[in-house]
Structure 1
Amino acid sequence: MYPLIKQCHRVSRTSLSYYSYLIDHCFSLKSLSFARITHAQLIKVGLNRHTFLGNRCLDLYSQFGNVNDALKVFDDISSKNIVSWNICLKGLLKFDNLSLACSVFDDMPERDVVSWNSMISGYASRGYFDCALETFWEMQKLGVRPSEFTYSILMSVVFGVRHGKEIHGSIVRSGLGALNVVLGNSLIDMYGKFSSLDYALGVFLTMEELDVISWNSLISVCCQSGNPELALDKFCIMRSLGYSPDEFSVSVVITSCLNLRNLEKGKQIFALCVKVGFLCNTIISSATIDLFSKCNRLEDSVRLFEEQDQWDSAVCNSMISSYARCGFREDGLRLFVLTLKKDIRPTEFTLSSVLNSTSILKLEQGTQFHSLAVKSGLELDAIVASSLVEMYGKFGFIDCSIKIFNKMVARDLIAWNTMIMGLTHNGRVFEALQTFKELIRTGLPPDRITLAGVLLACSFGGFISEGMTVFSSMEERYGVKPSNEHYACFVDLLCQAGRLDEALYVAESMRYEPVSLIWESILHACLIHGDLKLSERVAERLMELEPKSSLPYLVLARMFEIRGQWEGVVRVKKAMKRGKVEKVIGCSWIGVKNQVYAFTADQLQHHRGKEIYMVLRLLNWETEAKGYLQ
């Protein structure tokens, strides 16, 4: 490198092309030391103040140097133009010096669309979405026309479908209605983020030019919006029109097969992957492992996993979650320990999978993985934090869940749903409703899981008016059609209030056949309120849905028994015998050290039963002596 400088130095001492060539050479070598040597030559001959060469050197330091180098070059340029300011602005944002970048932006004598785009992108990439949008509106007020890149940035920060439509309208008004590929693909992705399939499809159909990314975006939207069959259809059309699918196309289609639990179609896509050589792609391998396990073919998942030439976090995460999903959680934990031994750094998805596994084992294991999350710097990650909130909530340590939730920097809808459900199942129903109100204030739209948790909280807490308000406004206000889980909570709420006629009306007016849980809620309420006529009517419906369920028979027998109608009791017991219906026996269990002890309601004796009852009597005596039992 040094002889090159000396040789060129003899050719022309002041030639701009010579120094421009040297700077180009620095870019190709990506060498900071060579950049400093070239900069020293510019200073030596006095060309560091030249606008063109100064801008080139500033761009060089912005990419490979540090902020002090870049600012020194910027200060040396005597006649700064708009390019000088823009390069400096981009460099400061690249160096993550947002405050100084804001100062430079404010001091700029003039700003073009590149300047505004830099600031909008700088705010957006750091999570300051409100500032990015404010900058965009200010840009328009000052008469600066947005570019296609401006809109591409904005579509990555929109916080709702309504706001996305406003951006789309602005694109049309700006004369960019004839969408190019990049802008069209960005719009499809944006609408896909909010599951607005109709609008995404509308954008796709208006695009004059399509590429593989356009098809991938549309297929992905179909899958995300709950239309996996449509995703498969679009994939077939894509291939028939001569577009060659890439790894992303195939991974989305495999996910669609997974959502459909369509193992045969998944095998066809898997055969295509083998044919075109995509199996080396770990994203496809991990998606296929998930497909096999969710279709109850864990042995195929294990076989594919063992055939992998090299492990990475994506494949290991899929295998760990597959073990957990199929009930082999200990195997999943052993695989996780093995990945640590192989120096595969755990990701947020890894920790989420193992935390879900520990939720049915021991709290001690969960706290160990919590410590690992802290050590890995992933404690505040949305996925890991949500899993921690769920784990502590399941163990009854809801205050720990609240602390973790409050520390989260960015809360997605999964985190909110997990917190609402955790509070509800731990009896903190009022706080669950307050959390829901806080979610609404953030502007994040609730989904079916959110509303199911809220209705469940209303049911547990007996909040009749709140529950009726939420249920009646689900579809109109939040765009969520009530499903069986929502009807079950609402019917249970009405039953607790003694409004059995209304509960029965709601169940019978459903658009589809109610699940047995809904009829069970009404039947339990009939027993409490002693309504024999309604009990017989509901019991018949439940017997049709669940012929082997003993609940309707037991409720009717109890109702006849209360009234002294013994012939009815005998009739019910004979019907149970004819239908070969067995009474469900209650069961509970407790874990002591490494042993799990199970107790059934009809069990008179069990392992070490005498000692257990002796300890129980001692505990009762001690509590009575201390005045805890009155």
Structure 2
Amino acid sequence: MFMLLSYLLWLASSLSVEKMLIFVSKTAPNLFCFSTTNDNYFKKFLSSQNGFFCFKKPSSRHIFESSNLHSSLTTTSLSTSLTKTIDHKTVDYNIRICRFCEVGNLNKAMELLYSSQKSELEATTYCSILQLCAELKSLEDGKRVHSIICDNGIEVDGVLGSKLVFMYVTCGALKEGRRVFNNIVNEKVFIWNLMINEYSKIGNIKESIYLFKEMIGLGIEVNSYTFSFVLKCFAAQRNVKEGELVHGYLLKLGFGCYNTVVNSLIAFYFKCRRVESARKLFDELNDKDVVSWNSMINGYVANGLAERGLEVFKVMLYSGFKVDLATLVTVLAGCANCGALTIGRAVHTIGIKSCFNKEITFNNTLLDMYSKCGDLDGAVRVFEKIGDKSVVSWTSMIAGYAREGVSGGSIRLFREMERGGVEPDVFAITSILHACACEGFLEIGKDVHNYIKENNMQSSLYVSNALMDMYAKCGSMEDAELVFSEIPVKDIVSWNTMIGGYSKNSFPNEALNLFVAMLQELEPDGRTMACILPACASLAALDRGREIHGYILRNGYSSDRHIANAIVDMYVKSGVLVLARLLFDSIPAKDLISWTVMIAGYGMHGFGREAIATFNDMRNAGVEPDEVSFISILYACSHSGLVDEGWRFFNLMRYEFKIEPKLEHYACMVDLLSRTGNLSKAYRFIEMMPIPPDATVWGALLCGCRIHHDVKLAEKVAEHVFELEPENTGYYVLLANIYAEAEKWEEMKRLRVKISQRGLKKNPGCSWIEIKGKVNIFVAGGSSHPQAKRIESLLKLLKQKMKEEGYFPKTKFALINTDEMEKEVALCGHSEKLAMAFGILSLPPGKTIRVSKNLRVCRDCHEMAKFMSRTASREIVLRDSNRFHHFKDGHCSCRGFW
């Protein structure tokens, strides 16, 4: 006690009374007044009502005494040098408010603040209460304190001003904090750093950088945190140039050896995709800490270089550095990105040994890693061991099931999550919508949509885009359109989803119209190009496709391999095979899709030998074919009559590449045998199939029966087809054609009655041709086109010339049993004839006529096209539902195989 009192006396001689009272209140708050007889050290200490004591420095002058222990203290002279009088209540208010602030009692502190007088409180007291307002995020109380400061005329200087700024910023009132900040003269780096960091948090990077530059201009001394904050800003902007200037500036000031600064520089360079610059800084850093290693691993993973990130992790372990939770979480993310399941399992073991398996973040990332690496069982085991599952845990598992194609498991988990009282977030909702999209679960998707409406989640653009994607992939474009129309502010993903949905669901005109509308709202991106090109390909809209190709070249999107493949596909399906090949050859790194598009292109144009050569080139390039590649090459063999080659590829697929044939492969082989006249072999091949044949397989044989006029086999095959797809009118029409060619009118009549009884209607023939960017559509027998009379006149003239040259229309293809004149009129109205005639009338001499049709071209129209190409000296490219026909000088590229 003696030592304590001696120390207090020393403090009294060097500190102000107020500051010493605060010190005593902290060190001995329950110390009561006591006395001693030794006047050489002190005279008397008097207690106040709240338990604090007040002391006075010994003096030769009169020492005061209190008449009542619980009464207010009287004022006393401290010394000859201390003439200012101290009011006990003033000291009392300051101490008591500070004491309440220390224990976190904001209400009591505010009560005392209101009851105090203007002159009673010190700036430090206001600072204490503002600090507590900040800690408790009590903005309203903070504003009240600010108001009292202003009403009392207290000068808001650097310290008090800084505390006010801190309170406002911490409570989320950045605008109010900035107003105070602008009105104070402050050279404290802390408050500048606070403002810079806070603006960057809300995404106002421009203002953060402005403050940094103003700070430098005013000569405020920066510290390592300043550079860390501002480098984050330049990283967010991908502003390499200014970031490098800051790098030079901090080196000049000697901050190049600060770990925090170098770590921030590493993160900056990685964010700006300057990977080698980041690596150089890391290698030159002598005193690496765990943050340094984590920055390198995370930087590589974020830049799509997960394998290099994992190598850094291995070196980190070999160097003896102790990993932390952030290390393992980042490494697991890298394993998920590159499928490194073995390393992921090792990290799992390290996590268990380090007791991180109790951390929900670690478990969720671990769950995601197993899921993305294809180990669904491992993911399930982790999931089941998580005690308190968060919504992230459920979402990761739902997404894992969806990714593996087990959409039923996703839906089951989603419902289980709901029953468990875990409220799904937008990521869970989008994951389940993705599962519905993958499996075509339209009704379940609609149930999820209802849940979204009930919980008011449709305001999330992320959710709306996922809804549109689900509806589009389930084939319900009307529902997708409704969602799209209700989005107030659409982003690029919204537009791309709809355009891609229209393209994939065979609404190419709608896709092109929406693309035009999009151009009025915002700039398309590479994904837009990849979505709109298939629409151009579907319509064979070559002029529009060329315009989009030009846009791609001008904006540098052609380096994207997906877009390059889509361009090749567009030219292939628009009939410009030579240009498609040139563009294909210009792709520097061809993937399997690139090769398959080109093989399929040769096949549909009837160039089977070229398709085989391309297939062989693909294998020589080290690219292994998949089941789709084999469908393309078998299709090419079929449409070129290459029987031996077709069998070779079929056996190659089964025995060398171990790919089990699917129905599409069997259909190609049946088509190949049927087209080449091997009808009996084709029939036996079907009977020997290890899987039940579908209507497509039998339909291929039915087409062969038509080519080779085998009515008896056709009737037998038709029974199988009608049993499998009784509502498909195309097969009835095909059999009707077979009867018509054989002039079996009675059988055809019975078939028509059967069609009528079933209420079936034949899909109308439809052809289209693009002229000057506009798609002109013609329907069989239609006369609504503005130039219908000119088209009819041209066709009559061509028909007359054909007769003069000894060609007579094959009226049996009219499929009606009536007089020859009516049959000729019906044939003249076939949609492809109308479109080709319009092309001759509308396009300049020498311009290739490009026509597309929704059905297979009939023989009469095929003959007419050959005659047109010779008579009009035009090249005609006709794409029907099955393949391309290139007509030139009276010949067709198909050589009868269609």
Give the aligned partner of residue 73 of structure 1: 250
Give the aligned partner of residue 615 of structure 2: 433
Q: Matches of 2:255 and 2:770 in 1, distance apart?
A: 78
Q: Matches of 2:218 and 2:865 in 1, distance apart?
A: 92
Residue identity opposite 1:619 in structure 2: R
**Alpha-carbon spacing, 1:417–1:187, altered in 2? closer, same or farther (3 Å):** farther
Q: Matches of 2:376 and 2:682 in 1, distance apart?
A: 35
Give the aligned partner of residue 39 of structure 2: none
**Alpha-carbon spacing, 1:89–1:312, altered in 2? closer, same or farther (3 Å):** closer
Greater alpha carbon shift after TM alignment, 124-133 vs 594-603: 594-603
The 3-state SS of whatever aligns with 2:769 is strand
**Alpha-carbon spacing, 1:160–1:64, altered in 2? closer, same or farther (3 Å):** closer
Q: Does 1:355 align with 2:533?
A: yes
Q: Matches of 1:446 and 1:194 in 2, distance apart?
A: 23
Matches within 5 A, 1:92-491: 92-128=269-305, 131-140=308-317, 142=319, 144=321, 148-150=325-327, 152-154=329-331, 163-176=339-352, 178=357, 180-193=359-372, 197-292=376-471, 298-324=477-503, 328-341=507-520, 343-359=521-537, 360-402=539-581, 404=583, 418-426=597-605, 427=607, 428-430=610-612, 432-434=614-616, 436-437=618-619, 441=623, 448-453=627-632, 455-457=634-636, 462-472=645-655, 482-491=661-670
Unaligned runs of at least 5 residues, structure 1: 9-16
Q: Does 1:519 align with 2:739?
A: no
Deviation at 1:211, TM superposition (A): 1.7
The 3-state SS of whatever aligns with 1:204 is helix
The 3-state SS of whatever aligns with 2:340 is helix
Give the aligned partner of residue 856 of structure 2: none
Q: Matches of 1:165 and 1:39 in 2, distance apart?
A: 49
Residue identity opposite 2:197 in structure 1: F
The 3-state SS of whatever aligns with 2:824 is coil
**Alpha-carbon spacing, 1:524–1:337, altered in 2? closer, same or farther (3 Å):** closer
Among 604, 607, 612, which residue is 2:824 paired with?
604
Residue identity opposite 1:220 in structure 2: A
Deviation at 1:302, TM superposition (A): 3.9
More helix by share: 1
**Alpha-carbon spacing, 1:570–1:203, altered in 2? closer, same or farther (3 Å):** same
Say whether the 8 Å CA contact 2:255–2:261 is kept in structure 1.
Answer: no
Q: Does 1:27 align with 2:210?
A: no
- What is the aligned-residue identity percentage? 24
Say whether the 8 Å CA contact 1:67–1:92 is kept in structure 2.
Answer: no
> What is the CA deviation profile of residues 513-563 of structure 1, one whole-angstrom value per residue up to 9, with x for unaligned ones?
21122234456678999999988875654454356735996899899x9xx
Q: Matches of 1:90 and 1:408 in 2, distance apart?
A: 34
Q: Matches of 1:553 and 1:617 in 2, distance apart?
A: 29
Q: Matches of 1:143 and 1:408 in 2, distance apart?
A: 46
Q: Matches of 1:157 and 1:409 in 2, distance apart?
A: 27
TM-score (norm 1): 0.74
Q: Matches of 2:320 and 2:672 in 1, distance apart?
A: 56
TM-score (norm 2): 0.55
Q: Matches of 2:581 and 2:308 in 1, distance apart?
A: 29
Q: Matches of 1:153 and 1:431 in 2, distance apart?
A: 46
Deviation at 1:414, TM superposition (A): 5.7
Q: Does 1:56 align with 2:225?
A: yes
Deviation at 1:74, TM superposition (A): 3.3
> What is the CA deviation profile of residues 302-354 of structure 1, one whole-angstrom value per residue up to 9, with x for unaligned ones?
4443333333333333444455566554344333322322x323234433333
Say whether the 8 Å CA contact 1:120–1:153 is kept in structure 2.
Answer: yes
Q: Matches of 1:440 and 1:154 in 2, distance apart?
A: 31
Greater alpha carbon shift after TM alignment, 546-555 vs 176-185: 546-555
Deviation at 1:278, TM superposition (A): 0.9
Say whether the 8 Å CA contact 1:459–1:489 is kept in structure 2.
Answer: yes
Greater alpha carbon shift after TM alignment, 176-185 vs 230-239: 176-185
Say whether the 8 Å CA contact 2:336–2:373 is kept in structure 1.
Answer: no
> What is the CA deviation profile of residues 7-36 of structure 1, one whole-angstrom value per residue up to 9, with x for unaligned ones?
99xxxxxxxx96556544543355335435
**Alpha-carbon spacing, 1:589–1:381, altered in 2? closer, same or farther (3 Å):** same
**Alpha-carbon spacing, 1:388–1:56, altered in 2? closer, same or farther (3 Å):** same
Q: Matches of 2:330 and 2:342 in 1, distance apart?
A: 14
**Alpha-carbon spacing, 1:250–1:451, altered in 2? closer, same or farther (3 Å):** farther
Q: Matches of 1:281 and 1:516 in 2, distance apart?
A: 44
**Alpha-carbon spacing, 1:225–1:338, altered in 2? closer, same or farther (3 Å):** same
Deviation at 1:245, TM superposition (A): 0.8
Q: Matches of 1:628 and 1:292 in 2, distance apart?
A: 48
The 3-state SS of whatever aligns with 1:174 is helix
Q: Matches of 2:429 and 2:590 in 1, distance apart?
A: 30
Q: Matches of 2:305 and 2:646 in 1, distance apart?
A: 38
Say whether the 8 Å CA contact 1:459–1:467 is kept in structure 2.
Answer: no
Say whether the 8 Å CA contact 1:590–1:597 is kept in structure 2.
Answer: yes
Q: Matches of 1:373 and 1:537 in 2, distance apart?
A: 52
Greater alpha carbon shift after TM alignment, 599-608 vs 353-362: 599-608
Q: Matches of 1:96 and 1:450 in 2, distance apart?
A: 36
Q: Matches of 1:149 and 1:285 in 2, distance apart?
A: 33
Structure showing greater Rg: 2
Would you say how many aligned residue pairs link Structure 1 and Structure 2?
Answer: 594
Matches within 5 A, 1:476-555: 482-492=661-671, 507-508=686-687, 510=689, 512-522=691-701, 541-542=720-721, 544-546=723-725, 549=731
Q: Does 1:90 align with 2:267?
A: yes
**Alpha-carbon spacing, 1:270–1:617, altered in 2? closer, same or farther (3 Å):** closer
Residue identity opposite 2:350 in structure 1: S
Q: Matches of 2:654 and 2:310 in 1, distance apart?
A: 34
> What is the CA deviation profile of residues 22-56 of structure 1, one whole-angstrom value per residue up to 9, with x for unaligned ones?
54454335533543565688897xxx7xxxx4x33
Q: Matches of 1:545 and 1:56 in 2, distance apart?
A: 73
Q: Matches of 2:682 and 2:333 in 1, distance apart?
A: 45
Residue identity opposite 1:354 in structure 2: I
Q: Matches of 1:592 and 1:279 in 2, distance apart?
A: 40
Q: Matches of 2:372 and 2:457 in 1, distance apart?
A: 27
Deviation at 1:430, TM superposition (A): 2.8
Say whether the 8 Å CA contact 2:540–2:575 is kept in structure 1.
Answer: no
